[in-house]
Structure formats: structure tokens, C-alpha cells
Amino acid sequence: VEAEIPDSQKAAWKKHSAQGFKTKEEFENEAVRHIETTLARSLYNLDDGAVYGGTALAFRDRLVIDWNKTQQNQANADQKRVYYLSLEFLMGRALDNAMLNVGLKNVAKEGLAELGFRMEDIISQERDAALGNGGLGRLAACFLDSLASLDYPAWGYGLRYRYGIFKQEIVNGYQVEVPDYWLDFNPWEFPRHDVTVDIQFYGNVRKYTDDDGKQVSVWENGEIVTATAFDVPIPGYSTPTTNNLRLWSSKSSSGEFDFQKFNSGQYEGSVNDQQRAETISAVLYPNDNLESGKELRLKQQYFWCAASLHDIVRRFKKSKKAWKEFPQNVAIQLNDTHPTLAIPELQRILIDEEGLDWDTAWSIVVNTFGYTNHTVMSEALEKWSVPLVQSLLPRHLQIIYEINLHFLQYVERTFPKDRDMLRRVSIIEEGGSKMVRMAFLAIIGSHKVNGVAELHSDLIKTTIFKDFVKIYGEDKFTNVTNGITPRRWLHEANPRLSELIASKLGGYEFLKDLTLLHKIEAFADDKAFRKEFQDIKYANKVRLAKYIKEVNGVSVNPSSLFDIQVKRIHEYKRQQLNIFGVIHRYLTLKAMSPEERKKVQPRVSIFGGKAAPGYWMAKCIIHLVNEVGRVVNNDADIGDALKVIFIEDYNVSKCEIIAPASDISEHISTAGTEASGTSNMKFVLNGGLIIGTCDGANIEITREIGEDNIFLFGNLAEDVEEIRHQHTYQGVLLDESLEKVFDAIHGGMFGNSDEFKALTNTVINNDHWLTSADFASYIKTQDSIDVVFKNQEEWLRKAIVSVSRMGFFSSDRCIEEYAEAIWNAEPVKP
């Protein structure tokens, strides 16, 4: 195509092509131009919001110039591309990240100052892009940052939800969900009204024999919904590589609305189709580690998978290569089982549309996909009812049955004696109602399956996927321990700590190679360094205390020990263990004389996190935390000795204030339940210590930083089953201190005790999450934390050594591992 353009035309384009700003002057030009023209505001009609808008648009222009060059360059390079399919991308704010990654933060800061604005105020105007629930979605966001920073030709594919995760308000101590209107102003996306795909649902399959005697299946007469692409540029750090996150939005295929109905006076009916279609990408399902099995969710999954695959296949076909080369050109990573329909969809395209035979097509499919599992908990494993799939995706159900047939025939040949094996591994679960087991389909249709931390990857091999290890061998299963991007989670969240580290390492190279942090260990005993490190932590605590004062109206003393647990509220994550521990502390303090109380290490217990709207028990936990806070924070006997805070609407940008301010953070899931956890990494990287169970990535964090630098407690994963068994057959032996805590709750100390009955009863009745079984060990460990914290020199030493040993947990390392062991992909030099 390039050759067909006349030279004179090329020269004209080159002369006028957008360059993007580089200097402070140019930045101010661009920002003011956008404020005055794009946003139609003026010097006399300005606020921080408008200046944020102008600044963001100026940076967006920069990004899109790099984005264009990157896409051109990657197309020319003709290398294997990576596609990361995820229903969730929990991106947070983009402006600060864009400024850092393109290296123009100081330029913008000076420019803004000259225009009369403070950088921090402008950055804080931005709303989070909250297209995710928790760890799984944030991991996808960190991976995009690392893929671009390492120059991989990689795209993310997701859904452009009109409403991301709900906004949480706390009203009278209860969680209330409010819609999040994040799209009101979003300068970071480019609508591509020319990039659309028609997606079919329902309908029927017609079979016929063609002229060559070949059986052909045609899926037809369905309902059509149109997918439109919205592109979000993803800038790499310290490289011009700018990748793409393509989010699909749904709309009616028949245009805006039905004109015939409209003209015949059926005004409401005329918009019905449109609304039905738009519903598909309207909301993010707000469940974390729980599947709801709703038809709309299945529609979302197919809509997104089909649009993305169509796009990927279209791009591949432009290369005019043979189909068998597809897996050498395309790697698709499935983030959990949500995109599993991409497997039968690619098979359908290859056999029904491209005319390949089954075996050739299937080998292409398997070599293309990789599947990442994020949980072993049965309530989170996706299953779809066969009749539902039959009605929505009739052709796909046929293909799934055929995949299953081929697979089971193979299993039968290989394990002729194990008849029960067929029942256990079949994609179709028989029984009352037939279900499609998505994880099994994902394993069978992928060449690699990975867990997200060592323990978790071992557990999937020995529990839920045990039979598949027998069938396929160990090699198909691998581990890639999660990581976090040091750009956002160190440099942006904690600029002073980043600066201190840079001053010792002679620059910011460690933001690209986090293992360089190990050189900081030499300063663990350096007095001046320790002092500076301590001052930074204190300043970060002051910043959080200020936020708490503003929002919660409670004064907390920044010299107290800040004890933080922020994550989705879930019984397995055990915020209930934490709050019961807090009540125990309160009762202990109450029983002391004022003199004794003065000697106790003051603490602020901070909680934050959303409960799925339908998860009643999680909502009870939030309510209890708030009620305990109300009582404790107003108890004059207690004063600074204990404060209990619930931070409303925990999200990515709040985490950036919270993580740098912790002394201790809690990662206390029942052993064997938290696949990895990633906030544990964020907290340690920011100079806080951890209290945690031997679970998920806590285990590898311990290995890296050393047992002396982490507070571990509780039963081990290998003993959990046995303990549960005992509970079932011998009843729960309630911990004595916990019993006192329950007495206080039942006695009405924290308001109407009926509201908390369910919470205490599940512990008393079967203690599935080992809250009582781990209580004594938890309390003892918390007490030892008070003792160590009093010795600030020792504490600082532990914290500094821990930071220096966190290099392994960069998401850059994860991406290198995926690229090497799963994708076989190489970077494209910009």
C-alpha cells in the first residue's frame, strides 16, 4: 500500500504530521489549546477538572503518535503477537502513568505551575477506570504495563462496560452500591466506529453436503448484535512502544433504532432492540471468586470472544500465510475461564468458515491458547448449563460435544481400566442438570495451563485438575508467580521512596530491572538511610491520616502502628478473623488500668474493600467493622490506643495512598485458598511488613525476604482438610479468647447482636475457614508485632531488607516467563 502513495503526497503528510510536545512551552501550548477549543473553557472559566482535561488530552495526543508508530513498526516486524483476553482490566488512573512512562512528568509539572496549578490536584481529578473486581483484573492491568515496557507486540482484549465496579458508600455502617459513571469524561479511549463486528446469538444449525461430498454446518437465523472497538493506548515505561487495549462495546445491528416502529408511533418499542443490545456491555459482574451463572454473563463472554477472535483472524489473514502457521504468529492467553468460548469459536471459524478438517483445525487451536487459573475454590469455577448454551450458541455446543468425544476416546484408549475417569474428566458434567465445565474445556483446548503462585500451581495439579496431569503429563502444567508493576506501585505511589532508592543506586534503572533493589540491602544498617526511610514512611502515614480525617472524620495519630487489610471482602480472606482480633484487643485494653494502657503500642486498624452485592456474609463483616469502629473510636478510655477505620470505596487510586502508609498489612486467608495475592507484594515493596498465613505468594515472599522479616501464623494448607473433617465429626472446639469476643458481640456491645449472629454461628457450627482454629496463633503473632515495632531500629532493618529483596515480584519477570515458557514470543525493538 505504501508504494502506491505518490511521493509528493507523502512529503506533505510528513511535513504536517503531528509531533507531540517535548518542552514545557509546547506542553502549555497543547494543554491550553485543548482547554480553550476541545473543552471550550477559558482562563475565566476554569477549574482543576478542566485543567485535568486539557493535560490529559495533551498527553493522549503524545500517546497516540507513539501508538501509530508502534502499530506500524509491529506490523512490519511480522513477529508473533500476543493477545491477552481478560473480562477485567482494573486500570485505575492513566494520567500519572502516561506522564511517567513517556518521561515528561517534570515538563508537565513545571508547565502546570506556570499556568497556576499544582500537579497533585490535577492528577487527583481523574476517575479510576475500574473495569475489574480485584486481583484478577489488576493483574491484567500490570501485565499490559509490563508487555509495553518490554516491547512485546501485545494487545489486550476486553469489554467496555458502561458501568465498571460499583462505587461503595457506607451508610449507617452498611455498604450501599452506587453506579459508577466513569465514562462521563474519558479522554483515554478512541472510538473506532469503522472497526465493527457482527456477533450472532441463538438461531439454528443447518447441515448439508456440499458438491465435494463434504459435510458443512451453517449457523443461521440468529439475532445479531454489533461490536464496536474502543482503543486505549498503553504506553511502555521508558520506551516509545505504545500497545493497544481494545475494548468492545455492544450496540444494535439495525442502527440507532427501528425507524419503522418509530414512524408507526411505537416510540418505546423502537428503542427496545437498541437497549437490549446495549445491555450486553452495560455492566461488569461485581463478583470476585464467585460465579453467578447468568445468561447475560454468557452473552458477554461470547460477544467479547467472538469479536476479539474475528479481529485477530482478520489481522492474520492480511499476512496471506497458511493456516498452519497461525500458532507461530498468534498466542492467545485466557485470563481465567471467562474467555474459554474462544476455543470452540476458533475451531468453528477454522472448520465452518475456512474449510479446514477437524484435526488440522484442532491442532492449530491447541497450539494457540494458554490458560491461567486463578482459584481452586469450587464456587468460583465456571459451569454453564447445557440447555442455556444450546439455545444461545447451538453450533458451539455441537463443537464442544465433538471436542469432548475426541478427548474421551483418547482417555479411554489410554486408561482402559479406569471407567470412572471418563465421568470425572468429561467436559459435560452429568447429573441432575447437565453442565459444561469451562475449566476442563480450557485445559483440553490449551497447550499450557498455569497457576499464579507455587503453592497454587501445585494445588491445581493435586486437586481440581489431578486427572488431567495423569492424562497429559506434568509438562502441560506450569507456574508463573504473579507480580506487580514497579512503575505504578513504587514510583507513582511512593515517589519519595523511589527517589531515595534512586539516589543510592545512581538512577532509576531499577524501575526497569527490579532485581537491582538488592543493592539497597547494604544500607539496611546505615543510620542516615534508615532515618530517611523512616521519615518517608511517616510522611506517607500523615498523608493517609489526613485522608481519614477528611473522609471518616476520625483523627488518627500517625505515630501509631498502622495495621491495614484492604482487598475484596470474602470469608476466605478472613476479614472476620481480623475484626474479631480487634475486638479481643479492645476487651484487653478495657480490662487494663489507665497506666497499663499507656504502655501498650497504639494501633490503627484499617479495613477497606467491597463486598459483592449479593454476598450477605461479606456485608455482615463490613457492618461489624463499622460498628466496632463507632464504639471504639468514641470510647474515651481508649483514646489513641486503638482506632478502627473502614475506608469507603477502596480502589486502585486509594491503594496508591494506602500501601505506602502501612506498617503491617494483613494477608491472612485460610491456607490453600488465596491463589497468590498481589497486594502482599505492593505492601512489602513500599516498606511495610506482613502478617500472613502460609498461603499463595506469601510463601515465596517469605523465601525471598527471609523468615525473620515476616510474621507468619496459622495452620498449613496440608492440615486444613483434616481440621475441617474434625469439625464435622467432633464439632468445633471454640477458642477461649474468641468465645469472649463472641460474648461481647452477643451481649450487644456493638449494636443489635442479631445482625451478627450468622457471622458468629458459622464459626461455632463448622468453622469452615478456620477462624477459631487459627485464632490463638493469630493473636499471639499480633502481640509479637507490638513488641518488635517498639524496637524501631529492628523494625526498620526488617523493612529495608525486605524491600531490597522484592525484585522477583515485578510483573516484568512474569511477562518474561510467560513469553518464554508459554507464548514463545519475542520483543519488537521500537
Sole binder of ligand 8GP in the list 93, 374, 487, 488 (CB under 6 A): 374
- Yes or no: say if 661 and 547 are a contact pair by the CB < 8 Å rule: no
The count of chain residues that interact with ligand 8GP, using the rule CB under 6 A, is 18
For 788-808, b/e burial (b = at least 16 CB within 10 A) is: ebeeeeebbbbbbbbbbbbbb
CA atoms of 713 and 695, how far apart (whole Å)? 10
Q: Is 461 in the site for ligand 8GP (CB under 6 A)?
A: no
24, 80, 374, 643: which one is catalytic? Answer: 374
Sole binder of ligand 8GP in the list 563, 627, 674, 704 (CB under 6 A): 674
573 is catalytic: yes
Residue placing its CB nearer to ligand 8GP in the complex, 30 or 674: 674
CA atoms of 579 and 675, how far apart (whole Å)? 23
For residue 156, the one-letter residue type is G
196 is catalytic: no
Q: Is 676 in the site for ligand 8GP (CB under 6 A)?
A: yes
Q: Which region, judged by CB under 6 A, interacts with ligand 8GP, from 119-127, 261-269, 403-411, 676-684?
A: 676-684
Residue placing its CB nearer to ligand 8GP in the complex, 63 or 136: 136
Q: Is 670 in the site for ligand 8GP (CB under 6 A)?
A: no
Residues 6+ apart with CB under 8 A from 402: 358
Sole binder of ligand 8GP in the list 589, 644, 675, 819 (CB under 6 A): 675
For residue 734, the one-letter residue type is L
568, 570, 585, 727: which one is catalytic? Answer: 568
- Is the Cα torsion angle 29, 33, 39, 40 positive or negative in sign? positive
Q: Is 134 in the site for ligand 8GP (CB under 6 A)?
A: yes
Q: Is 451 in the site for ligand 8GP (CB under 6 A)?
A: no
228, 340, 678, 762: which one is catalytic? Answer: 678
682, 727, 805, 813: which one is catalytic? Answer: 682
- Yes or no: say if 569 and 528 are a contact pair by the CB < 8 Å rule: no
Least Cβ distance, residue 674 to ligand 8GP (angstroms) = 5
Q: Which region, judged by CB under 6 A, interacts with ligand 8GP, from 121-129, 242-250, 432-440, 668-676?
A: 668-676
Q: Is 700 in the site for ligand 8GP (CB under 6 A)?
A: no
Q: Is 136 in the site for ligand 8GP (CB under 6 A)?
A: yes
* Angle at the Cα of 810 from the Cα atoms of 799 and 367, rounded to 5 degrees: 150
CA atoms of 13 and 614, how far apart (whole Å)? 56
585 is catalytic: no
- Yes or no: say if 219 and 208 are a contact pair by the CB < 8 Å rule: no
Among 179, 191, 315, CA closest to 249: 191
Q: Is 288 in the site for ligand 8GP (CB under 6 A)?
A: yes
Residue placing its CB nearer to ligand 8GP in the complex, 252 or 565: 565
Task: Give Cα 568 distance to the centre of its chain.
Answer: 11
Q: Is 289 in the site for ligand 8GP (CB under 6 A)?
A: yes
Least Cβ distance, residue 450 to ligand 8GP (angstroms) = 10
Q: Which region, judged by CB under 6 A, interacts with ligand 8GP, from 99-107, 578-586, 672-680, 770-778?
A: 672-680
In 517-649, which ranges are E strands? 561-566, 603-608, 642-647
Sole binder of ligand 8GP in the list 482, 633, 698, 715 (CB under 6 A): 482
740 is catalytic: no
Q: Is 648 in the site for ligand 8GP (CB under 6 A)?
A: no
**In the bound complex, which residue of the shown chain has the CB atom lying closest to ligand 8GP?**
135
Per-residue HEC secondary structure of 238-299 comes to CCCCEEEEEEEEEEECCCCCCHHHHHCCCHHHHHHHHHHHHHCCCECCCCCCCCCCCHHHHH
Q: Is 375 in the site for ligand 8GP (CB under 6 A)?
A: yes
Q: Which of residues 139-168 bind ligand 8GP (CB under 6 A)?
A: 139
Least Cβ distance, residue 136 to ligand 8GP (angstroms) = 3
Q: Which region, judged by CB under 6 A, interacts with ligand 8GP, from 129-137, 320-328, 441-449, 771-779?
A: 129-137
State how far the alpha carbon of 709 is from the alpha carbons of 35, 481, 525, 664, 798, in Å: 50, 20, 15, 11, 5
Burial of 223 (0-12, 13-18, 19+ CB in 10 A): middle
Burial of 89 (0-12, 13-18, 19+ CB in 10 A): buried
573, 584, 585, 654: which one is catalytic? Answer: 573
Least Cβ distance, residue 443 to ligand 8GP (angstroms) = 16
Q: Is 452 in the site for ligand 8GP (CB under 6 A)?
A: yes
682 is catalytic: yes
State how far the alpha carbon of 44 is from the alpha carbons of 36, 116, 504, in Å: 11, 13, 46
Least Cβ distance, residue 725 to ligand 8GP (angstroms) = 25
Supply the DSSP symbol for 625: H
Least Cβ distance, residue 123 to ligand 8GP (angstroms) = 26
CA atoms of 374 and 160, how far apart (whole Å)? 22
CA atoms of 129 and 234, how far apart (whole Å)? 13
568 is catalytic: yes
Catalytic machinery residues: 374, 567-568, 573, 678, 682
Q: What residues line the site for ligand 8GP (CB under 6 A)?
A: 134-136, 139, 288-289, 336, 374-375, 380, 452, 482, 674-678, 696
